[in-house]
Structure 1
Amino acid sequence: MSGHIDGVVVHITSGDANDWQQALQNVLNLHNDESVPVSPELITVVVNGDAVRFLQADEPDADQLTRLADAGVRVLACSNSLAQLGYSADELAEGVDTVDSGVAEVTRLQWHGNGYLKLP
C-alpha cells in the first residue's frame, strides 16, 4: 500500500437520528485524525435519501456542517432526494452544496480514485 489517497467519499443515507449522529462523529474523527493523510479538501460527504433532512439550516447540527465546509470538507446534498422529500436547496445549512444525483456523484468520485466509506 502506497499511502497515497486521492480522496475519500463519505456516503450517508440513513434518516435515523442516531445513525446521523454516528456518521457525523465519524466524519469529524476522520477530519481530525492526523494519522490519516487526507486533507479536508479531499473529503467529500455525499448525503442522499432520507438523510438529507439533517442538512437543513434549522437542524441541530447545521453549525457543525458549516464548520466542516469552512475547513474545506465538501458537503453535498442530493437534489433528487431533496425534491422527493419536499425540501429546497435554499433551506440547506450554510456551506452545503447540491448535486443532481447523490449516487452518481459517489460513483464519479470513486471513478476518480476516491476511497469509499459508507456511514454509519
Structure 2
Amino acid sequence: MKKKSLAACAMVLMFGLAAVSQTPAGPKHHVVFQLSEPDGPAWNSLIIHVTNMREAFAKDGGSEVEVVFFAAGLNMLRKTNTAYEERLKKLADSGVTLSACQNAMRLMNVKTEDLFPFASQVDSGIAELARKQEAGWAYIH
C-alpha cells in the first residue's frame, strides 16, 4: 500500500513539474519611460531608444515597455501630430503601451478623441511612474 501511495505521489510530482516547466515565462525586462518635453529632439530620441532597447532585449528574454506622456509630451499622442503617428503606431503594434496622463489631458483640454486610437490612458502620469517603480520596473527619463 505504501509503495502504491509513494508511486502515485511521485507521478503527481513529475506531472506537476512538467506542467510548470512548460508554462511560458513573461518578458524578462520591464521598463517605463517618461516623456514630458515639448516637440523636438526628445521625441525622436524616445522612439529610437525604445526601438533599440526592445531589439536588444528581444535576444535576452523580451521586454514589457510603457511610455507615459504628460505635460508638453502629451502632444506627441495627439492626432494633429502626424509627423510621428506612423512610428508611434509601429511601437504600439509591437506591444509598447503608450499612456496619456488624464491630469495633463484635463489641464490641456485634450479629449480622448483627440488622441491616436492606439493610445491608452492613466489617471496620473507621475503616479503611473511610481507604481511601475514600486513593482520593480526600470525607469528611464
**Do the two structures share a fold, i.e. TM-score over 0.5?**
yes
Return the TM-score normalized by structure 2: 0.72
Over 3 Å counting, the alpha-carbon distance change for 1:32 and 1:57 in structure 2 is: farther
Give me the whole-angstrom Cα distance separating, in 2, the residues matched to 1:110 and 1:62: 28
| 1:46–1:76 CA contact under 8 A, matched in 2 | yes
Over 3 Å counting, the alpha-carbon distance change for 1:25 and 1:6 in structure 2 is: closer
1:43 and 2:65 matched = yes
1:84 and 2:107 matched = yes
1:73 and 2:90 matched = no
1:28 and 2:28 matched = no
Counterpart for residue 117 of structure 1: 140
User: How many residue pairs are counted as aligned between the two chains?
Assistant: 114
Give me the whole-angstrom Cα distance separating, in 1, the residues matched to 2:48 and 2:140: 13
Larger helix share, 1 or 2: 2
Higher relative contact order (CA 8 A, sep 6+): 1
Deviation at 1:62, TM superposition (A): 1.4
The percentage of counterpart residues that share the same residue type is 25
Give me the whole-angstrom Cα distance separating, in 2, the residues matched to 1:21 and 1:6: 23
Give me the whole-angstrom Cα distance separating, in 1, the residues matched to 2:61 and 2:49: 14
Larger Rg: 2
Q: Which consecutive segments of 4 or more residues in structure 1 shift more than 4 A? A: none
| 1:45–1:74 CA contact under 8 A, matched in 2 | yes
